[in-house]
Structure 1
Amino acid sequence: MGRGQLRRQWVSPPGNVYASVVLPQPGPGWSELLPLLAGWCFSRALEGLGFPVRLKWPNDFLLYDRKVAGMLLEERGGRLVLGVGLNLASVPDPGSLRQGCAVPAGTLCADGPLPGPLSLWTALVNAVRKGYTDSSDVVDPSHFPSLVTERLAWMGRRVLVVDGEESAYPARIMGLSDRGGLLLERDGRTEVLFSGSVAPL
Protein backbone atom coordinates (compact mmCIF):
# COMPACT_ATOMS: atom_id res chain seq x y z
CA MET A 1 0.00 0.00 0.00
CA GLY A 2 1.36 3.43 -0.92
CA ARG A 3 0.45 7.09 -0.56
CA GLY A 4 -0.68 9.27 -3.44
CA GLN A 5 -2.23 12.66 -4.15
CA LEU A 6 -4.02 14.26 -1.17
CA ARG A 7 -2.56 11.46 1.01
CA ARG A 8 -4.87 8.90 -0.61
CA GLN A 9 -3.82 5.28 -0.35
CA TRP A 10 -3.10 3.32 -3.50
CA VAL A 11 -2.72 -0.40 -4.06
CA SER A 12 0.67 -1.74 -5.16
CA PRO A 13 0.43 -5.31 -6.51
CA PRO A 14 3.68 -7.30 -6.84
CA GLY A 15 5.66 -7.24 -10.07
CA ASN A 16 5.50 -3.50 -10.66
CA VAL A 17 8.01 -0.71 -9.96
CA TYR A 18 7.69 1.49 -6.87
CA ALA A 19 10.70 3.74 -6.38
CA SER A 20 11.91 7.26 -5.66
CA VAL A 21 14.52 9.53 -7.17
CA VAL A 22 16.08 12.64 -5.62
CA LEU A 23 16.07 15.70 -7.86
CA PRO A 24 18.13 18.89 -7.45
CA GLN A 25 16.52 22.14 -6.43
CA PRO A 26 15.95 24.25 -9.58
CA GLY A 27 16.64 27.93 -10.06
CA PRO A 28 14.34 30.90 -9.42
CA GLY A 29 10.84 30.88 -10.87
CA TRP A 30 10.26 27.13 -10.75
CA SER A 31 8.77 26.58 -7.29
CA GLU A 32 5.11 26.46 -8.36
CA LEU A 33 5.93 24.52 -11.52
CA LEU A 34 7.99 21.72 -9.98
CA PRO A 35 5.29 18.99 -10.17
CA LEU A 36 4.61 19.98 -13.77
CA LEU A 37 8.33 19.95 -14.60
CA ALA A 38 8.77 16.50 -13.05
CA GLY A 39 5.72 15.15 -14.88
CA TRP A 40 6.85 16.57 -18.20
CA CYS A 41 10.33 15.06 -17.83
CA PHE A 42 8.90 11.71 -16.79
CA SER A 43 6.46 11.59 -19.71
CA ARG A 44 9.24 12.46 -22.16
CA ALA A 45 11.46 9.78 -20.64
CA LEU A 46 8.73 7.16 -21.05
CA GLU A 47 8.10 8.26 -24.62
CA GLY A 48 11.82 8.00 -25.34
CA LEU A 49 11.65 4.36 -24.24
CA GLY A 50 8.78 3.66 -26.64
CA PHE A 51 5.72 4.39 -24.48
CA PRO A 52 3.59 7.23 -25.97
CA VAL A 53 2.07 8.33 -22.66
CA ARG A 54 0.00 11.43 -22.03
CA LEU A 55 0.13 13.47 -18.84
CA LYS A 56 -3.12 13.35 -16.87
CA TRP A 57 -2.96 16.52 -14.82
CA PRO A 58 -1.63 16.77 -12.22
CA ASN A 59 0.42 13.61 -11.63
CA ASP A 60 -0.70 10.54 -13.58
CA PHE A 61 0.37 9.02 -16.90
CA LEU A 62 -1.93 7.40 -19.43
CA LEU A 63 -1.21 4.92 -22.19
CA TYR A 64 -4.17 4.57 -24.56
CA ASP A 65 -6.41 6.25 -21.96
CA ARG A 66 -5.44 3.81 -19.21
CA LYS A 67 -3.43 4.83 -16.16
CA VAL A 68 -0.06 3.09 -16.23
CA ALA A 69 1.91 5.26 -13.81
CA GLY A 70 1.63 7.92 -11.15
CA MET A 71 4.01 10.19 -9.30
CA LEU A 72 4.19 12.33 -6.17
CA LEU A 73 6.76 15.10 -5.67
CA GLU A 74 7.59 16.06 -2.08
CA GLU A 75 10.23 18.13 -0.32
CA ARG A 76 11.96 16.31 2.52
CA GLY A 77 14.79 17.84 4.47
CA GLY A 78 15.46 20.38 1.74
CA ARG A 79 15.56 17.69 -0.96
CA LEU A 80 13.05 17.06 -3.72
CA VAL A 81 11.93 13.44 -3.77
CA LEU A 82 9.96 12.12 -6.73
CA GLY A 83 8.06 8.94 -5.86
CA VAL A 84 6.87 6.88 -8.83
CA GLY A 85 4.68 3.84 -9.33
CA LEU A 86 4.76 2.00 -12.68
CA ASN A 87 2.35 -0.76 -13.69
CA LEU A 88 4.49 -3.36 -15.42
CA ALA A 89 2.94 -6.72 -14.66
CA SER A 90 -0.38 -6.09 -12.91
CA VAL A 91 -3.02 -3.50 -12.10
CA PRO A 92 -5.13 -2.78 -9.01
CA ASP A 93 -8.46 -4.53 -8.69
CA PRO A 94 -11.17 -2.23 -10.13
CA GLY A 95 -13.05 -2.42 -6.84
CA SER A 96 -10.15 -0.73 -5.05
CA LEU A 97 -10.29 2.37 -7.28
CA ARG A 98 -12.21 5.51 -6.42
CA GLN A 99 -15.69 5.37 -7.83
CA GLY A 100 -16.96 7.99 -10.25
CA CYS A 101 -13.70 9.64 -11.32
CA ALA A 102 -11.12 6.85 -11.52
CA VAL A 103 -9.46 6.14 -14.86
CA PRO A 104 -9.15 2.45 -15.82
CA ALA A 105 -5.73 1.03 -15.02
CA GLY A 106 -3.40 -0.53 -17.58
CA THR A 107 0.16 -1.77 -17.90
CA LEU A 108 3.12 -0.66 -19.97
CA CYS A 109 3.27 -4.12 -21.55
CA ALA A 110 0.28 -3.13 -23.72
CA ASP A 111 2.90 -2.24 -26.34
CA GLY A 112 4.79 -5.53 -26.09
CA PRO A 113 7.45 -7.20 -23.92
CA LEU A 114 9.27 -5.03 -21.39
CA PRO A 115 12.85 -4.96 -20.17
CA GLY A 116 13.43 -6.03 -16.58
CA PRO A 117 12.18 -3.66 -13.84
CA LEU A 118 15.69 -2.62 -12.81
CA SER A 119 16.81 -1.94 -16.38
CA LEU A 120 13.66 0.05 -17.10
CA TRP A 121 13.93 2.10 -13.91
CA THR A 122 17.63 2.85 -14.47
CA ALA A 123 16.93 4.11 -17.99
CA LEU A 124 14.03 6.23 -16.74
CA VAL A 125 16.02 7.78 -13.90
CA ASN A 126 18.88 8.73 -16.21
CA ALA A 127 16.50 10.30 -18.73
CA VAL A 128 14.43 12.12 -16.09
CA ARG A 129 17.47 13.60 -14.34
CA LYS A 130 18.98 14.81 -17.61
CA GLY A 131 15.70 16.28 -18.84
CA TYR A 132 15.02 17.92 -15.48
CA THR A 133 18.45 19.55 -15.28
CA ASP A 134 18.50 20.63 -18.92
CA SER A 135 14.98 22.08 -18.77
CA SER A 136 15.36 23.96 -15.49
CA ASP A 137 18.69 25.42 -16.67
CA VAL A 138 17.63 26.44 -20.18
CA VAL A 139 13.84 26.88 -20.39
CA ASP A 140 12.21 30.12 -19.23
CA PRO A 141 9.73 29.12 -16.48
CA SER A 142 7.15 31.61 -17.80
CA HIS A 143 7.09 29.76 -21.14
CA PHE A 144 7.20 26.26 -19.73
CA PRO A 145 3.45 25.55 -19.26
CA SER A 146 2.89 26.03 -23.00
CA LEU A 147 5.42 23.25 -23.68
CA VAL A 148 3.55 20.85 -21.41
CA THR A 149 0.17 21.55 -23.00
CA GLU A 150 0.99 19.37 -26.01
CA ARG A 151 1.42 16.39 -23.67
CA LEU A 152 -1.84 16.86 -21.76
CA ALA A 153 -4.40 14.09 -21.83
CA TRP A 154 -7.85 15.08 -23.15
CA MET A 155 -6.75 18.51 -24.35
CA GLY A 156 -9.79 20.32 -25.76
CA ARG A 157 -12.17 17.61 -24.52
CA ARG A 158 -14.93 17.75 -21.94
CA VAL A 159 -14.08 16.07 -18.66
CA LEU A 160 -15.59 15.50 -15.24
CA VAL A 161 -13.88 17.69 -12.64
CA VAL A 162 -13.76 16.96 -8.90
CA ASP A 163 -12.04 19.71 -6.90
CA GLY A 164 -12.98 18.66 -3.38
CA GLU A 165 -15.00 21.80 -2.68
CA GLU A 166 -18.23 21.02 -4.51
CA SER A 167 -19.89 18.22 -6.41
CA ALA A 168 -18.36 17.05 -9.66
CA TYR A 169 -19.00 19.22 -12.70
CA PRO A 170 -18.29 19.04 -16.45
CA ALA A 171 -15.77 21.35 -18.09
CA ARG A 172 -13.44 21.48 -21.08
CA ILE A 173 -9.64 21.34 -20.75
CA MET A 174 -8.12 24.40 -22.42
CA GLY A 175 -4.48 24.21 -21.34
CA LEU A 176 -2.33 25.30 -18.40
CA SER A 177 -1.97 28.57 -16.54
CA ASP A 178 1.39 30.26 -16.02
CA ARG A 179 1.41 28.80 -12.48
CA GLY A 180 0.75 25.25 -13.67
CA GLY A 181 -2.96 25.11 -12.91
CA LEU A 182 -5.38 23.42 -15.30
CA LEU A 183 -7.29 25.89 -17.48
CA LEU A 184 -10.95 24.91 -17.78
CA GLU A 185 -13.85 26.29 -19.76
CA ARG A 186 -16.99 26.00 -17.64
CA ASP A 187 -20.35 27.51 -18.54
CA GLY A 188 -18.69 30.03 -20.86
CA ARG A 189 -16.12 31.10 -18.25
CA THR A 190 -12.42 30.28 -17.90
CA GLU A 191 -11.42 28.85 -14.52
CA VAL A 192 -8.14 27.55 -13.12
CA LEU A 193 -7.95 24.31 -11.14
CA PHE A 194 -4.97 23.96 -8.80
CA SER A 195 -6.07 20.91 -6.81
CA GLY A 196 -8.41 18.14 -7.83
CA SER A 197 -8.85 15.43 -10.42
CA VAL A 198 -10.34 15.00 -13.86
CA ALA A 199 -11.75 12.07 -15.81
CA PRO A 200 -13.17 11.81 -19.34
CA LEU A 201 -16.90 12.08 -19.90
Structure 2
Amino acid sequence: MHGMNDGISNKEMTRWQEYLGGKWDLFSNEGNLGTSESLWVSRKENMIRYLACDCTSTMDVSASLLKQNRFPQWSWILSEAQNQGRGQLGRSWISMPGNLFATIRLPQNAGTLGNLLPLALGVVLVEVMAELGLPAEIKWPNDILVGRTKVGGILVEERYGKSLAGIGINVHKGPEADFFSQSFKIIPGSFQTFGVKISVPHLWMRIELFLKHRLAAFISHPGHVVERLGKCLAFKNEPIIVTHAGPWNGPATLVDISATGGLIIRTARGDQMIDRGQISPRVF
Protein backbone atom coordinates (compact mmCIF):
# COMPACT_ATOMS: atom_id res chain seq x y z
CA MET A 1 0.00 0.00 0.00
CA HIS A 2 1.29 3.42 -0.88
CA GLY A 3 0.53 5.94 1.82
CA MET A 4 1.43 9.47 2.68
CA ASN A 5 4.91 8.36 3.73
CA ASP A 6 5.71 6.88 0.31
CA GLY A 7 6.38 10.14 -1.50
CA ILE A 8 2.84 11.52 -1.57
CA SER A 9 2.73 14.96 0.03
CA ASN A 10 0.31 17.75 0.72
CA LYS A 11 2.69 19.97 -1.25
CA GLU A 12 2.23 17.82 -4.34
CA MET A 13 -1.55 17.85 -3.87
CA THR A 14 -1.44 21.66 -3.67
CA ARG A 15 0.44 21.76 -6.99
CA TRP A 16 -2.22 19.55 -8.57
CA GLN A 17 -5.00 21.80 -7.31
CA GLU A 18 -3.27 24.93 -8.59
CA TYR A 19 -2.74 23.38 -12.01
CA LEU A 20 -6.33 22.12 -12.32
CA GLY A 21 -7.72 25.45 -11.14
CA GLY A 22 -10.87 26.25 -9.19
CA LYS A 23 -11.63 26.24 -5.48
CA TRP A 24 -10.81 23.01 -3.66
CA ASP A 25 -12.29 22.05 -0.29
CA LEU A 26 -11.60 19.15 2.01
CA PHE A 27 -14.36 16.59 1.51
CA SER A 28 -16.20 15.11 4.46
CA ASN A 29 -15.41 11.42 4.03
CA GLU A 30 -18.70 10.01 5.25
CA GLY A 31 -19.47 6.34 4.80
CA ASN A 32 -15.87 5.16 4.32
CA LEU A 33 -15.33 5.83 0.63
CA GLY A 34 -12.10 3.84 0.51
CA THR A 35 -9.74 6.82 0.51
CA SER A 36 -7.11 8.14 2.84
CA GLU A 37 -8.22 11.02 5.05
CA SER A 38 -7.35 13.57 2.33
CA LEU A 39 -10.07 13.76 -0.32
CA TRP A 40 -10.57 17.11 -1.99
CA VAL A 41 -13.59 18.32 -3.96
CA SER A 42 -14.16 21.11 -6.47
CA ARG A 43 -17.38 21.92 -8.32
CA LYS A 44 -17.15 23.06 -11.92
CA GLU A 45 -20.27 23.77 -13.97
CA ASN A 46 -22.50 20.67 -13.59
CA MET A 47 -19.71 18.25 -12.67
CA ILE A 48 -17.74 17.51 -9.51
CA ARG A 49 -13.99 16.90 -9.43
CA TYR A 50 -12.27 14.90 -6.71
CA LEU A 51 -8.60 14.52 -5.79
CA ALA A 52 -7.30 11.80 -3.49
CA CYS A 53 -3.86 11.29 -2.00
CA ASP A 54 -4.46 7.56 -1.79
CA CYS A 55 -7.38 5.18 -2.28
CA THR A 56 -8.31 1.55 -2.79
CA SER A 57 -9.18 2.21 -6.44
CA THR A 58 -10.64 5.24 -8.18
CA MET A 59 -13.35 2.97 -9.61
CA ASP A 60 -14.53 1.89 -6.16
CA VAL A 61 -14.45 5.43 -4.76
CA SER A 62 -16.41 6.80 -7.72
CA ALA A 63 -19.01 4.04 -7.31
CA SER A 64 -19.43 4.99 -3.64
CA LEU A 65 -19.82 8.66 -4.59
CA LEU A 66 -22.30 7.69 -7.30
CA LYS A 67 -24.38 5.79 -4.76
CA GLN A 68 -24.51 8.97 -2.67
CA ASN A 69 -25.60 11.05 -5.69
CA ARG A 70 -22.30 12.93 -5.57
CA PHE A 71 -20.93 11.90 -8.96
CA PRO A 72 -22.95 13.48 -11.80
CA GLN A 73 -22.15 13.11 -15.51
CA TRP A 74 -18.52 13.91 -16.44
CA SER A 75 -17.47 14.00 -12.78
CA TRP A 76 -14.10 12.40 -12.09
CA ILE A 77 -11.68 11.37 -9.40
CA LEU A 78 -7.90 11.52 -9.79
CA SER A 79 -5.67 9.87 -7.20
CA GLU A 80 -1.94 10.09 -6.58
CA ALA A 81 -1.88 6.42 -5.61
CA GLN A 82 -4.18 3.43 -5.31
CA ASN A 83 -3.57 0.11 -3.61
CA GLN A 84 -6.29 -2.18 -4.95
CA GLY A 85 -6.41 -1.23 -8.63
CA ARG A 86 -7.68 -3.82 -11.07
CA GLY A 87 -7.99 -4.40 -14.77
CA GLN A 88 -9.85 -6.76 -17.06
CA LEU A 89 -10.86 -10.17 -15.67
CA GLY A 90 -10.29 -8.81 -12.17
CA ARG A 91 -6.50 -8.86 -12.53
CA SER A 92 -4.57 -6.62 -10.17
CA TRP A 93 -3.37 -3.34 -11.70
CA ILE A 94 -0.02 -2.56 -10.08
CA SER A 95 -0.23 1.13 -9.22
CA MET A 96 3.17 2.77 -9.08
CA PRO A 97 3.33 6.26 -7.51
CA GLY A 98 3.72 9.03 -10.07
CA ASN A 99 1.37 7.47 -12.60
CA LEU A 100 -2.19 8.41 -13.59
CA PHE A 101 -5.15 6.75 -11.89
CA ALA A 102 -8.58 8.16 -12.69
CA THR A 103 -12.24 7.28 -13.09
CA ILE A 104 -14.74 9.43 -14.96
CA ARG A 105 -18.51 9.10 -15.27
CA LEU A 106 -19.51 8.93 -18.91
CA PRO A 107 -22.68 10.42 -20.42
CA GLN A 108 -25.83 8.35 -20.14
CA ASN A 109 -25.89 7.40 -23.84
CA ALA A 110 -22.29 6.13 -23.86
CA GLY A 111 -23.57 2.62 -23.18
CA THR A 112 -25.17 2.53 -26.63
CA LEU A 113 -21.69 1.84 -28.01
CA GLY A 114 -21.70 -1.57 -26.32
CA ASN A 115 -18.41 -3.40 -26.83
CA LEU A 116 -17.14 -0.45 -28.85
CA LEU A 117 -17.10 1.77 -25.74
CA PRO A 118 -13.72 0.74 -24.25
CA LEU A 119 -12.28 0.77 -27.76
CA ALA A 120 -13.62 4.30 -28.35
CA LEU A 121 -11.95 5.39 -25.11
CA GLY A 122 -8.78 3.70 -26.31
CA VAL A 123 -8.89 5.69 -29.54
CA VAL A 124 -9.16 8.88 -27.49
CA LEU A 125 -6.06 7.92 -25.49
CA VAL A 126 -4.19 7.07 -28.68
CA GLU A 127 -5.02 10.53 -30.05
CA VAL A 128 -3.85 12.22 -26.84
CA MET A 129 -0.60 10.28 -26.96
CA ALA A 130 -0.09 11.11 -30.64
CA GLU A 131 -0.23 14.78 -29.68
CA LEU A 132 2.66 14.06 -27.29
CA GLY A 133 4.67 12.30 -29.99
CA LEU A 134 3.89 8.76 -28.81
CA PRO A 135 2.78 6.31 -31.55
CA ALA A 136 0.33 4.29 -29.47
CA GLU A 137 -1.70 1.22 -30.43
CA ILE A 138 -4.74 -0.50 -28.93
CA LYS A 139 -4.41 -4.13 -27.92
CA TRP A 140 -7.95 -5.48 -27.99
CA PRO A 141 -9.96 -5.13 -25.92
CA ASN A 142 -8.63 -2.47 -23.55
CA ASP A 143 -4.84 -2.07 -23.37
CA ILE A 144 -2.71 0.78 -24.69
CA LEU A 145 0.71 -0.08 -26.12
CA VAL A 146 3.64 2.06 -27.14
CA GLY A 147 6.52 0.27 -28.81
CA ARG A 148 4.70 -2.97 -28.00
CA THR A 149 5.02 -2.25 -24.27
CA LYS A 150 1.94 -1.74 -22.11
CA VAL A 151 1.65 1.86 -20.95
CA GLY A 152 -2.03 1.98 -20.04
CA GLY A 153 -5.34 0.27 -19.64
CA ILE A 154 -9.06 1.00 -19.56
CA LEU A 155 -11.77 -0.54 -17.41
CA VAL A 156 -15.43 0.20 -18.13
CA GLU A 157 -17.99 -0.82 -15.52
CA GLU A 158 -21.69 -0.15 -15.09
CA ARG A 159 -22.60 0.85 -11.54
CA TYR A 160 -26.15 1.73 -10.52
CA GLY A 161 -27.10 1.98 -14.20
CA LYS A 162 -24.31 4.46 -15.00
CA SER A 163 -21.14 3.96 -17.07
CA LEU A 164 -17.82 4.55 -15.31
CA ALA A 165 -14.48 4.48 -17.11
CA GLY A 166 -11.32 3.75 -15.16
CA ILE A 167 -8.09 4.85 -16.82
CA GLY A 168 -4.57 3.93 -15.71
CA ILE A 169 -1.46 5.23 -17.48
CA ASN A 170 2.19 4.65 -16.65
CA VAL A 171 3.46 8.21 -16.81
CA HIS A 172 6.54 7.95 -14.63
CA LYS A 173 7.33 4.26 -14.31
CA GLY A 174 5.82 0.90 -15.11
CA PRO A 175 5.84 -2.07 -12.73
CA GLU A 176 8.53 -4.71 -12.97
CA ALA A 177 7.86 -7.23 -15.74
CA ASP A 178 6.39 -10.42 -14.29
CA PHE A 179 6.67 -13.94 -15.67
CA PHE A 180 3.43 -13.61 -17.66
CA SER A 181 4.44 -10.40 -19.42
CA GLN A 182 7.95 -11.69 -20.13
CA SER A 183 6.62 -14.99 -21.48
CA PHE A 184 4.19 -13.29 -23.85
CA LYS A 185 6.55 -10.44 -24.80
CA ILE A 186 4.35 -7.59 -23.59
CA ILE A 187 6.34 -5.89 -20.87
CA PRO A 188 5.31 -2.76 -18.97
CA GLY A 189 6.42 0.60 -20.32
CA SER A 190 5.93 4.24 -19.45
CA PHE A 191 5.94 7.69 -21.01
CA GLN A 192 9.31 8.31 -19.39
CA THR A 193 10.72 5.21 -21.09
CA PHE A 194 10.09 6.96 -24.41
CA GLY A 195 11.42 10.33 -23.29
CA VAL A 196 8.06 12.03 -22.68
CA LYS A 197 7.78 14.04 -19.48
CA ILE A 198 4.39 15.40 -18.50
CA SER A 199 2.69 16.01 -15.17
CA VAL A 200 -0.28 13.85 -14.19
CA PRO A 201 -2.76 16.78 -13.96
CA HIS A 202 -1.60 18.14 -17.33
CA LEU A 203 -2.10 14.75 -18.97
CA TRP A 204 -5.50 14.31 -17.31
CA MET A 205 -6.70 17.70 -18.53
CA ARG A 206 -5.79 16.71 -22.10
CA ILE A 207 -7.61 13.38 -21.73
CA GLU A 208 -10.71 15.03 -20.27
CA LEU A 209 -10.79 17.59 -23.10
CA PHE A 210 -10.40 14.95 -25.81
CA LEU A 211 -13.01 12.69 -24.17
CA LYS A 212 -15.68 15.36 -24.11
CA HIS A 213 -14.96 16.35 -27.70
CA ARG A 214 -14.52 12.93 -29.32
CA LEU A 215 -16.88 10.64 -27.40
CA ALA A 216 -20.01 12.50 -28.49
CA ALA A 217 -18.96 12.09 -32.13
CA PHE A 218 -18.28 8.38 -31.64
CA ILE A 219 -21.67 7.85 -29.98
CA SER A 220 -23.38 9.52 -32.95
CA HIS A 221 -21.27 7.64 -35.51
CA PRO A 222 -20.04 4.28 -34.11
CA GLY A 223 -18.55 3.43 -37.48
CA HIS A 224 -15.93 6.12 -36.91
CA VAL A 225 -14.58 4.09 -33.97
CA VAL A 226 -14.06 1.05 -36.19
CA GLU A 227 -12.50 3.24 -38.88
CA ARG A 228 -10.00 4.76 -36.44
CA LEU A 229 -9.22 1.36 -34.95
CA GLY A 230 -8.14 0.16 -38.36
CA LYS A 231 -5.19 2.53 -38.09
CA CYS A 232 -4.09 1.78 -34.53
CA LEU A 233 -5.00 -1.86 -33.83
CA ALA A 234 -2.03 -3.79 -32.44
CA PHE A 235 -1.09 -7.15 -34.01
CA LYS A 236 -3.34 -6.75 -37.05
CA ASN A 237 -2.55 -9.49 -39.60
CA GLU A 238 -0.12 -11.02 -37.11
CA PRO A 239 -0.15 -14.42 -35.37
CA ILE A 240 -1.66 -14.33 -31.87
CA ILE A 241 -2.68 -16.60 -29.03
CA VAL A 242 -6.30 -16.30 -27.87
CA THR A 243 -7.28 -17.08 -24.27
CA HIS A 244 -10.45 -16.74 -22.15
CA ALA A 245 -12.54 -17.05 -25.33
CA GLY A 246 -14.08 -20.47 -24.80
CA PRO A 247 -13.95 -22.72 -27.89
CA TRP A 248 -11.79 -20.23 -29.78
CA ASN A 249 -8.81 -20.43 -27.43
CA GLY A 250 -5.54 -21.17 -29.19
CA PRO A 251 -3.45 -19.93 -32.11
CA ALA A 252 -5.01 -17.56 -34.63
CA THR A 253 -4.30 -14.59 -36.85
CA LEU A 254 -5.82 -11.22 -35.97
CA VAL A 255 -7.86 -10.03 -38.96
CA ASP A 256 -9.79 -6.93 -37.87
CA ILE A 257 -12.39 -5.39 -35.57
CA SER A 258 -16.06 -6.14 -36.22
CA ALA A 259 -18.71 -3.43 -36.51
CA THR A 260 -19.81 -4.21 -32.94
CA GLY A 261 -16.35 -4.18 -31.35
CA GLY A 262 -15.65 -7.89 -31.48
CA LEU A 263 -12.38 -9.29 -32.76
CA ILE A 264 -12.28 -11.11 -36.09
CA ILE A 265 -9.71 -13.89 -36.00
CA ARG A 266 -8.60 -16.48 -38.54
CA THR A 267 -8.33 -19.99 -37.15
CA ALA A 268 -7.86 -23.46 -38.59
CA ARG A 269 -11.68 -23.61 -38.72
CA GLY A 270 -12.02 -20.37 -40.68
CA ASP A 271 -12.74 -16.78 -39.69
CA GLN A 272 -14.52 -16.27 -36.39
CA MET A 273 -15.70 -13.29 -34.35
CA ILE A 274 -15.11 -13.25 -30.60
CA ASP A 275 -16.60 -10.67 -28.23
CA ARG A 276 -14.66 -11.66 -25.12
CA GLY A 277 -11.20 -12.91 -24.30
CA GLN A 278 -7.57 -11.89 -24.25
CA ILE A 279 -4.90 -11.92 -26.94
CA SER A 280 -1.12 -12.09 -26.88
CA PRO A 281 1.43 -12.10 -29.69
CA ARG A 282 2.43 -15.58 -30.79
CA VAL A 283 6.20 -15.70 -30.57
CA PHE A 284 6.90 -19.42 -30.69
Establish whether TM, by shorter chain, passes 0.5.
yes
Choose 182-191 or 59-68, whichever is displaced more: 182-191
The partner residue of 2:164 within 81, 84, 97 is: 81
Larger RCO of the pair (alpha carbons < 8 Å, separation 6+): 1
- Which whole-Å CA distance do the structure 2 matches of 1:76 and 1:186 have between them? 36
Counterpart residue type for residue 148 of structure 1? L
The partner residue of 1:43 within 107, 126, 129 is: 126
Residues 80 and 49 of structure 1, relative CA distance in 2, 3 Å threshold: farther
The residue number in structure 1 matching 2:204 is 121
Q: Deviation digits for residues 9-50 of structure 1, max 9, x if unmatched?
A: 121111111111221123795234222222222222222232
State whether structure 2 residue 104 is matched by structure 1 residue 31: no
User: SS of 1:42's equivalent?
Assistant: helix
TM-score, normalised via structure 2 length: 0.64
State the Cα RMSD in Å. Answer: 2.3
State whether structure 2 residue 233 is matched by structure 1 residue 161: no
TM-score, normalised via structure 1 length: 0.88
On the 8 A contact 1:45/1:128 being kept in 2, the answer is no
The partner residue of 2:275 within 179, 194, 201 is: 194
Over the matched positions of the two proteins, sequence identity in percent amounts to 30
Residues 97 and 28 of structure 1, relative CA distance in 2, 3 Å threshold: closer
- Which whole-Å CA distance do the structure 2 matches of 1:28 and 1:92 have between them? 32
The partner residue of 1:110 within 173, 189, 193 is: 193
Q: Deviation digits for residues 144-196 of structure 1, max 9, x if unmatched?
A: 42432221001111111112536952111100112211100011500112111
> Structure 2: which 5+ residue stretches go unaligned?
1-83
- Which whole-Å CA distance do the structure 1 matches of 2:167 and 2:105 have between them? 11
> Structure 1: which 5+ residue stretches go unaligned?
none
The alpha-carbon deviation at position 79 of structure 1 amounts to 2.3
On the 8 A contact 2:152/2:170 being kept in 1, the answer is yes
- Which whole-Å CA distance do the structure 1 matches of 2:180 and 2:98 have between them? 19
Aligned residues: 199
The structure with the greater share of residues assigned to strand is 1
